[in-house]
Amino acid sequence: QTVVTQEPSFSVSPGGTVTLTCGLSSGSVSTSYYPSWYQQTPGQAPRTLIYSTNTRSSGVPDRFSGSILVNKAALTITGAQADDESDYYCVLYMGSGIVVFGGGTKLTVL
Amino acid sequence: EVQLLESGGGLVQPGGSLRLSCAASGFTFSSYAMSWVRQAPGKGLEWVSAVSGSGGGTYYADSVKGRFTISRDNSKNTLYLQMNSLRAEDTAVYYCAKGLGGFTTPRGFDYWGQGTLVTVSS
């Protein structure tokens, strides 16, 4: 079974830029997987950031952007702020109505 | 404003059943695929199941196939998840999530409910 991979953790300095990635245990991610990204803080419901590779959800600042980098989906955060400290999850569409979440990346801003 | 409100969670014994509901408002419910996503305590998000806007297509993660049934009542703008043969590993917060427009199957989610906790324990 194909696994969706994410970095378990990442850190960024305030004001800095960080790129989180979302890959496959076998194969390359393309726009056909409709990669999407979600932010979640402890005790809260997820918040949609990016869908269909690079479309920002309503109200999401343009500091957040999505792309395909080499063979992975990527979420880039520019000008990192303290309240960006969260868990970030990607989702890939596998076809036949099935979607799979990555294991999540815990982002620390320090 | 899109709103999704889950209900029906609670404590149930292993082997028992529970039905979750998600009341939707603020959008044309029948036009969108809907999903259930869960999160076990201290763990990541896991997609559980989805249903097309018409209700004619249903999709399940392998972990719940044969035990859970997703359905919807478009006249009531409500999504359901019937959970049977529950196991301790089904303990989680269950979220309903609205699918993106233009697709009969989920290609991602744009709105989420606040979740309802299901605890499977004796």
pLDDT digits (tens, 9 = 90+) for B27-54: 999 999 999 999 999 999 999 999 999 9
Handedness of CA A72, B48, A97, B77 (dihedral sign): negative
**What is the percent of chain A where pLDDT is above 90?**
96
Q: Please give the residue of chain A at the shortest CA–CA distance from B100.
A: A51
Q: Is the pLDDT of residue B103 over 90?
A: no
> If you ran DSSP here, which 8-state letter would residue A71 be given?
T
A34, A58, A102 ranked by CB distance to B107: nearest: A34
What does the CA dihedral B61, B115, B32, A53 come to, rounded to 10 degrees? -70
- Cβ-Cβ contacts under 8 Å, A101 against chain B: 37, 44-47
Testing the interface with B: which of A31, A44, A48 to mutate, by most B Cβ within 10 A?
Answer: A48
What are the tens digits of pLDDT across the range B57-99? 999 999 999 999 999 999 999 999 999 999 999 999 999 999 9
> What's the rounded mean pLDDT across residues B96-103?
90
Average pLDDT, chain B: 96
Contact B110, A48 (CB under 8 A): yes
Chain A residue set in contact with B, beta carbons under 8 Å: 1, 34-36, 38, 40, 45-48, 51-52, 57-58, 87, 89, 91, 93, 96-104
Nearest to A10 by CA among A65, A67, A96, A85: A85
Substitution target in A50, A91, A92, A94 with the highest count of B β-carbons within 10 Å is: A91
Residue A84's closest CA among A8, A11, A22, A23?
Answer: A11
Q: What is the pLDDT of residues A68-78, one digit of tens each?
A: 999 999 999 99
pLDDT per position as a tens digit, B84-94: 999 999 999 99
CA atoms of A75 and B100, how far apart (whole Å): 19
Identify which of B51, B10, A85, B24 has the alpha carbon closest to the alpha carbon of residue A77.
Answer: A85
pLDDT tens digits for A23-51? 999 999 999 999 999 999 999 999 999 99
